[in-house]
A and B are shown apart, each in its own frame.
Chain A
Amino acid sequence: MIDVIEIKKDFPIFKDNADFVYLDSTATSLKPSSVIRAMSEYYSHYSANIFRGVYDISERSTKEYEETRSLVKEFIHASSEAEIIFTRNTTESINLFVNGMSDRLQRGDEIVTVISEHHSNFVPWQQLAQKKGLIFKIIDVDKTGTWQEDWQSLITKKTKVLATSHVSNVLGTLNPIRQIIKDIKKINPDIVILVDGAQAVGSVSVDVQALGCDAYVFSAHKMLGPTGVGVLWAKEELLDTLPPYQFGGEMIRSVTPQKTVFANLPHRFEAGTPHIAGVIAFKQAILYLQGKGLKKIYDHEVALAQDFYNKLNNTFGKDVTIIGPAQRASGIVAFTINGVHAHDVAQILNEDNIAVRAGHHCAMPLHDRLGVEASVRASFYLYNSFDDVDTIVRSLIKVRKMFNK
């Protein structure tokens, strides 16, 4: 069981605002004290650059930075540290990967993604396809989030890449990645599969080797860590064949006026001074999640989302449209109150000290597909309680009254 009262004590944001109902962890999670302390500890006591100094505090910052890499490796069950690349966020991880794949793709090659993808796993592929004359195919979903039944017919011998999310940030679905990858590789074993794990890693236990994907990306800030830190994991054999993303310091072995030899993995993809404090503090986020237990966190957030889903249906009936399946599989529930614009809903909830997201949540193709202009999204995480569910439902009743629905 998750003890929310105890957990809240670890999140200083609740100190001056005990009744705050934060339901936007999908956008970014709150941060526990241990993470904040680790940032401040670095800046206060050993704020040295990494890999450069031979003095004590630089040795320490380098060691701590690399310790996070080792922990990330363990956390997602990668086979070596060389496969863990630190970036700024999921978006940058995907762009790095798309850039790397670009050279090996040729006119007429196919790349496949899903209509429900976040823009960051959609636009980079779409743009690459336009630039290089690739065929950009999109798997459709229905309003419960299920992929079109014959999606496998989109995968052919000419398909080079498939990009999909693990957990959808609007539908809240948990894609059966392992099975999907098995099915794909049966049709064409050479397809490179990128999984966007931004919404998964902080609550679903991930084993990249068991999943069978080729690349997996996520952001620290959605899993209790600092903003400005992301991860790209990819198989070493694959990373070895990709060209660098940015050129400059930290990513070279030797430079002469004529020639540059690049550093080995993972440093070849980490040009320039990274977010050292952020990476170091990210370790505390993972330790915190491990301490509470991912399975417990996942069960907790799904239970809250399911309770909310049921209460929305029971309270509002035909006046509410909920996106995604009846059986919730993550902490995410997006919906609309018919006749009231999502922004108005979110604004009125804000007046009751409830933070939710309103808009298309960086998933315009999905909203278009479902014929929804904008939706409200409530997302539950380990610091949310069943009381929070009741609070938002009460506030939504108020919304309906205000707009005389």
Chain B
Amino acid sequence: MASIYQEIILQHAESPHNFGRLPSSTNKIVLDNPLCGDVIQMEVEIRGKIVTDIKFTGKGCAISKASASLLTDFAKGKKIDELRALDKTSIIKLLGVELGPNRLKCALLPLEALQKLIHK
């Protein structure tokens, strides 16, 4: 079985991109997964239906951090409509690893945060 802890995931978990606060944010959300104690705070700046900037903070496992890091990279500069279409498969593709149903929950928390933000 191949490790899900590929270099890319470990790197993003160790030094996540877009980690921090966003003073210019237009929307912000805090979501948690009490089951594993993960918390994510995500902030976006939306201008003309485009996510012009996005940042997150929080705590969680390597998978949830890597997922947030990769997702925020991906989201930056994208149209809201395009981001609404993201789903489970898109996250698995971004991470590049297979995840079982239990770990998938960790990976999907950032996506849930993003979609709640852009639906507001």
Contact = CB atoms under 8 A, between A and B. Distances in A.
B77 interface: no
Interface in B32-62: 34-37, 59-62
A374 B14 contact: no
Given A360-B37, A374-B36, A341 B60 contact: yes
Interface size for chain B: under 10, 10 to 19, 20 to 34, or 35 or more residues? 10 to 19
Contact of B3 (A351, A358, A359, A404): A351
A141 B9 CA distance: 38
Contact of A373 (B10, B14, B37): B37
A402 B34 CA distance: 26
B85 interface: no
Interface in A120-150: none
A33 interface: no
A374 B5 contact: no
A343 B35 contact: no
B12 to A, nearest CB: 13
Contact of B36 (A351, A359, A403): A359
Interface in B48-86: 59-63
A360 B38 CA distance: 12
Interface in B1-46: 1, 3-5, 10, 14, 34-37
A341 B59 CA distance: 9
B37 A402 contact: no
A359 B37 CA distance: 8
Interface in A222-269: none
B37 A344 contact: no
Interface residues of A, number: 17
A347 B37 contact: no
A351 B61 contact: no
B63 A343 contact: yes
A251 B60 CA distance: 49
Nearest to B1: A351
A374 B10 contact: no
Contacts of B103: 343, 347
B106 interface: yes
Interface in A328-386: 341-344, 347-348, 351, 358-360, 364, 367, 373-374
A22 to B, nearest CB: 17
A117 to B, nearest CB: 17
15 contacts: A341-B62, A342-B36, A342-B61, A343-B36, A343-B63, A344-B62, A347-B4, A347-B5, A348-B5, A351-B1, A358-B36, A360-B36, A360-B37, A373-B36, A403-B10
